[in-house]
Amino acid sequence: MSEPQTSISQPSHDEFAALLEESLTGAALQEGSVVKGTVVSIEKDVAIIDVGLKTEGRVPLKEFGVPGAPSTLVEGDEVDVYLERVENAAGEAVLSREKARREESWVRLEEKYKNNEKVEGQIFNRVKGGFTVDLDGAVAFLPGSQVDIRPIRDVGPLMNSPQPFQILKMDRRRGNIVVSRRSVLEESRAEKRGEIVARLKEGEVVDGVVKNITDYGAFIDLGGIDGLLHVTDMAWRRVNHPSEIVNVGDTVKVQIIRINPDTQRISLGIKQLEADPWEGIAAKYPVDARFKGTVTNITDYGAFVELEPGVEGLIHVSEMSWTKKNIHPGKIISTSQEVEVQVLEVDPDKRRISLGLKQTQENPWVAFAAAYQPGTEIEGQIRNITEFGLFVGLDGGIDGMVHLSDLDWSKSGEEALKDYKKGDTVKAVVLEADSEKERISLGIKQLAADPFEGAASSDKLGKGARVTCEVTAVKDNGIEAKLLDHDLTTFIRRSDLSRDRSEQRPDRFGVGEKFDAVVTQVDQKTRKISASIKALEIAEEKEAVAQYGSTDSGASLGDILGAALNKAKDADEEPAEADAAADAEEAPKAKAASKAKTKRAAKAAADSESADEASAEE
């Protein structure tokens, strides 16, 4: 009985080695690792797999197949499975073929990602923002923008079919893989484009199929490579949209205009296959010649007119109407309207033709200048009033301007402008009509003679002439007065109001008071007349001295006054034959007049000594 116990408690060397090997073998099967197993049996849709544990594990058959294909697993097959748990609540090992494949795929994909190699996978599901791809067990994300070179609406043909992909990003810790199908296609297309571009030459005419149409042109498939047929290269005439020339699916003959070797972009053209209508354009459309055309397009700055297919000219807005300025061209002409135009300029190099519409119509400025010579009297309605004059409507829809200076002879322009309002009908005289500058000058004051010219040219208003004036305004520095006989105005300065300094006060005059003065200056340029009361007094004194003598001739002041009194007395005496009653009635008046003249003569004699001073001062 004691020997068995001794053998158990003290095992031999061989028994200990066997126990150790058995212990190490069990430790190798650890949870979370990939282990090899053998298919023991297949029950319905589950495979029973023995991995060397106390119990077998059960794995669904769908994990052994690929999406869209049935499983080919049979009994006895040896497979790699992922050991999730050694034993679950049912006493079975928890195994997974999918996770095993994923672990294997990650190792393989990381190697390909490092070497920038392509991988093969299948798109099997649609998710937000893209699709999921099975990379032989590992699930990757395919963004919608990376499915194809151009956006595609139907991805059905690509589902569950093997496709090449390029790994863009891998994160093993997060289990994230991002792949792209577009980069594979671009690389393949680049290789193919390079071969095709090498065969094509500029100027070559080839056939292509319209693949896509945009607002700016159409993409033509040249057999594996696309070329752009721009809308401006579709026809010599104006093309509003490419669909006017081509449709998707049409086979067209195009010419290769340009090939960019760096970007491998190909520019195509159809109009280059036809004759250029601009050749010899200057001889076909000479300047000043008139043609008919159709309005094809209207812009803010003018309108385009098609003279023939492929040849268009521009009518600038300034060449549309003689009278309508700053107006949108659409208010003068309309699209598709047939108009007659005149060629103004032709530039074959820039392929431009300048046209004029108003030149085909009568020029109202020329017609007015021919019908109304300067000096002709016209009548029109005031269309506008500005700070510098009036605009009067004339025949032909044109305007003439009356400047401020041509409104009135005597009033200032600003003052005369207040007498007019918009809509009034006025008469005026044509002063100048310039058809080239499109300017007509009118005058209203010219309807009457210039009072200044008439007065200045007469002997009555020369320098030294005596005039009768009426006070119109009293100011601090003088008085304004009107010349009664000449309908002119003058301004008398304070110093010219009297010879006596004490009388040089403007306030001693009242508005409406009349007085006599002497014209001292007539200025033709400034149209001003200067008058003086002081000069009149000095002139009267000199006249009295010259008539009755002077102190220089030996006559005393009393002699001069006596002679003046005697002459005044003789002038006041009536003939003896006059009626006595009349003498009695006129005697007081004559006596009063005699006394006034006597006083005036006495004053003149008394001031004779200072006459020279007054002259010097003047």
- The CA-based angle 412-415-418, given to 5 degrees, is 145
3-state class of 444 per DSSP?
Answer: coil
Q: Which residues contact 381 (CB under 8 A, 6 or more apart)?
A: 392, 393, 423, 424, 425, 426
pLDDT bracket for residue 571 (50, 70, 90): low
Alpha-carbon distance of 588 to 572, in angstroms, equals: 11
pLDDT bracket for residue 161 (50, 70, 90): confident
Alpha-carbon distance of 444 to 136, in angstroms, equals: 102
- Please provide residue 213's backbone torsions phi and psi, each rounded to the nearest 5 degrees: -125, 130
pLDDT digits (tens, 9 = 90+) for 65-98: 665 566 677 777 777 777 777 777 666 777 767 6
- Of 406, 396, 453, the closest CA to residue 429 belongs to 406
Alpha-carbon distance of 231 to 242, in angstroms, equals: 6
Rounded to an integer, the average pLDDT of 166-191 is: 85
- Please provide residue 614's backbone torsions phi and psi, each rounded to the nearest 5 degrees: -65, -40
Query: What pLDDT is recorded for position 43?
Result: 79
Give a three-class secondary structure readout of 518-580. EEEEEECCCCEEEEEHHHHHHHHHHHHHHHHCCHHHCCCHHHHHHHHHHHHHHHHCCCCCCCH
Asked if residue 446 lies in contact with residue 437, where contact means CB atoms within 8 angstroms, the answer is no
Mean pLDDT of the chain: 79
Residue 184 has pLDDT above 70, yes or no: yes
Percent pLDDT > 90 in the chain is 22
Q: Is the dihedral of CA 583, 585, 591, 593 positive or negative?
A: negative
Q: Of 57-66, 595-604, 608-617, where does the model show the most confidence?
A: 57-66
- Of 224, 142, 220, the closest CA to residue 183 belongs to 142
- Of 428, 517, 394, the closest CA to residue 466 belongs to 517
pLDDT bracket for residue 412 (50, 70, 90): confident
Residue 341 has pLDDT above 50, yes or no: yes
Percent pLDDT > 70 in the chain is 79
Query: What pLDDT is recorded for position 313?
Result: 93
pLDDT digits (tens, 9 = 90+) for 34-57: 777 777 787 777 777 777 777 777
pLDDT bracket for residue 592 (50, 70, 90): very low
pLDDT digits (tens, 9 = 90+) for 509-529: 999 999 989 888 887 777 788
Residue 63 has pLDDT above 50, yes or no: yes
pLDDT digits (tens, 9 = 90+) for 214-240: 999 999 988 878 899 999 999 888 888
**Per mean pLDDT, which range of 282-286, 483-487, 585-589 is the poorest?**
585-589
Query: What pLDDT is recorded for position 548?
Result: 65
Residue 128 has pLDDT above 80, yes or no: yes
Percent of the chain as helix, strand, coil, to the nearest 5: 35, 35, 30
pLDDT bracket for residue 462 (50, 70, 90): confident
Q: Following DSSP, what letter does each residue of 249-316 receive, concatenated?
A: T-EEEEEEEEEETTTTEEEEESGGGS--TTTTHHHHS-TT-EEEEEEEEE-SSEEEEEEETTEEEEEE
- Of 136, 82, 78, the closest CA to residue 106 belongs to 136
Alpha-carbon distance of 270 to 218, in angstroms, equals: 11
pTM of the model: 0.46
**Per mean pLDDT, which range of 100-109, 138-147, 218-227, 559-568 is the poorest?**
559-568
Residue 381 has pLDDT above 60, yes or no: yes
